[in-house]
Amino acid sequence: MKEGWSARDIPRLDGKSAVVTGANSGIGYVTVLELARAGADVVLGCRDEARGTEALERVRREIPTARLTLERLDLSALSSVREFAERLRASSPRLDILVNNAGVMAIPARTLTSDGFEMQFGVNHLGHFALTGLLLDHLLAAEKPRVVTVSSGVAAWGKLDLDNLQSERRYRPMGAYAQTKLANLLFMRELDRRVRPRDLVSVAAHPGATVTNLQRHAFGRITKIIGQSAEWGALPSLYAATAPGVAGGSYFGPRDRFGLGGPPTLVSLPGQARSVDLALRLWEASERLTGVRFAFKAAPAAVANA
């Protein structure tokens, strides 16, 4: 890895296609901006179409030649995830880069998605699990595609309770969030294990302490003091998505200040994220809850209909 890697080191991505979820603000917006600057065709997946339109226009003001598409994507509704995937499959032959970036954090009271999932688990993990599965055929149609799942440093605090994934017995806002960020890493690792023979690279990244809208319920004041900008916070995701030679199963985060800031570097996975058994059991639970199954053995280049 190059010392002090920055967005200026992103290789040209002309002819490549990318999807970024949660693209209208924070590190998602910066990810879109830099992928577009490098020449990629970028789809902005946004829940709020008005904010998505504003973000798209901001990128175009900075990069008039940017090739961008805005699509509504509400990860808290599996129907929206399916509709998004259907539109993408109809409009493009392949997908080179999927950045599973969107998220919610520390919602004060237990809230449910339209499908009845605890909101943080539904958006941060299940929504992205379903989206990746529904786009698997398009990813495998590309040459060396990548799936980047954005986690968090708090994944190290997470405890995955397979008997209480929906926080029904006890809801702790940050505990539920940490569980979803650990789930992101377990998903990344199990996806990597399953796609190894197929040249799809599954990796993860975390932004460290980065000032974004994510901290509206927790850590807002301290993050404003110690945090870095979204331009810095997006670098691990951008490195994971674009740098040559990235190995499947890798995890990237900021290099400096105990992982809170600085240029991207390879970081260690939390202990529980390395559990093959836990990853498999979470995968099976996620298939059951979402109805999306990754049909690797029966159809290596396709995913079963949800």
Task: Give the pLDDT confidence of 29-57 residue by residue, as tens digits.
Answer: 999 999 999 999 999 999 999 999 999 99
Q: What does each C-alpha distance from 45 to 56, 86, 250, 272 come to in angstroms? A: 11, 13, 24, 30
Which of 29, 177, 239, 251 is flagged as catalytic?
A: 177
Average pLDDT over residues 156-184: 93
pLDDT on residue 209 = 67
Percentage of the residues of the chain whose pLDDT score is greater than 90: 79
Q: What is the CA radius of gyration of the chain?
A: 18
Class assignment of domain 10-290? alpha beta
pLDDT on residue 198 = 78
pLDDT tens digit string along 96-148? 999 999 999 879 999 999 999 999 999 999 999 999 999 999 999 999 999 99
Indicate the residue type of 215. Answer: Q
Burial 19-49 (b: 16+ CB within 10 A, else e): bbbbbbbbbbbbbbbbbbbbbbbbbbbbbee
| C-beta of residue 227 within 8 angstroms of C-beta of residue 218 | no
**Residue-range domain boundaries for the chain:** 10-290
Q: Is 29 a catalytic residue?
A: no
Average pLDDT, the chain: 90
Sheet bearing 146-150, strands edge to edge: 67-72, 41-46, 17-21, 97-100, 146-150, 201-205, 251-256, 261-266
Indicate the residue type of 268. Answer: S
Indicate the residue type of 11. Answer: P
**Nearest one of 82, 133, 73, 80 to 103, comparing CA atoms:** 73
How far apart CA 193 and CA 200 sit, in angstroms, is: 10
